[in-house]
Amino acid sequence: MSADDETDDFQQDEPEPEDGDGGAAEEIRDEIDGAEDEFDEDDDEEEDDSHPEPEVTIEISGLSLYTHMGVSAAEREIGQRLLVDLRLDVAECDATVTDRIDDTVDYGEVCQLVWLIAQQREYRTLERFCAAVADRLIERYELYSVWVKASKPEPPIALSIGEVAVEVWREA
């Protein structure tokens, strides 16, 4: 070994893996370097006008409402229980960083709004009700999309049925 070789060994920035390491440290460094390269490549790409994937999806399941909804006059007069499920893809959600309710969609407020929509008028079909909810949520909040499902757990049908349901999905 020459004196130059010894000098090169001392000038290395990274220590050699110890015996028994099997090069694991070097593999981890390579993975980290590769991950940084992936992010650097993203910065070089042109801006895409389409919406990025939402960072936050808010789901509400089993919101129980008593409504006067149905095709028959008897259904609308007597009323019945309706279960509503919602999925909201939030456009911008700073609450992931700030931890503030003001920086996200308040799901308590969403539930109150859905209840209000159900009480404002008598809907004949679940389809129209779901569309009204989806449209109002998109108008009111910064969302990429919204999915609404309304179920009648005891539909007025002479046959044995667990539930009937309708789903509507809208993009902003």
Domains contained in the chain, CATH given? 3-44 (no CATH), 56-171 (3.30.1130.10)
Among 136, 172, 145, CA closest to 59: 145
Cα–Cα distance measured from residue 155 to residue 74, given in angstroms and rounded to the nearest whole number: 12
pLDDT band at 38 (very low <50, low <70, confident <90, very high): very low
Q: Give the tens place of pLDDT for each residue, 90-110.
A: 988 999 899 999 999 999 999
**Percentage of the residues of the chain whose pLDDT score is greater than 70:** 69
57 and 88 Cβ atoms separated by less than 8 Å? yes
Cα–Cα distance measured from residue 40 to residue 60, given in angstroms and rounded to the nearest whole number: 37
Q: Give the tens place of pLDDT for each residue, 39-92.
A: 444 444 555 556 555 589 999 999 999 999 999 998 889 999 999 999 999 988
Among 58, 66, 106, 104, CA closest to 85: 58
pTM of this structure: 0.68
pLDDT at 37 over 50: no
Rounded to 5 degrees, φ, ψ at 31 are -65, -45
pLDDT at 113 over 60: yes
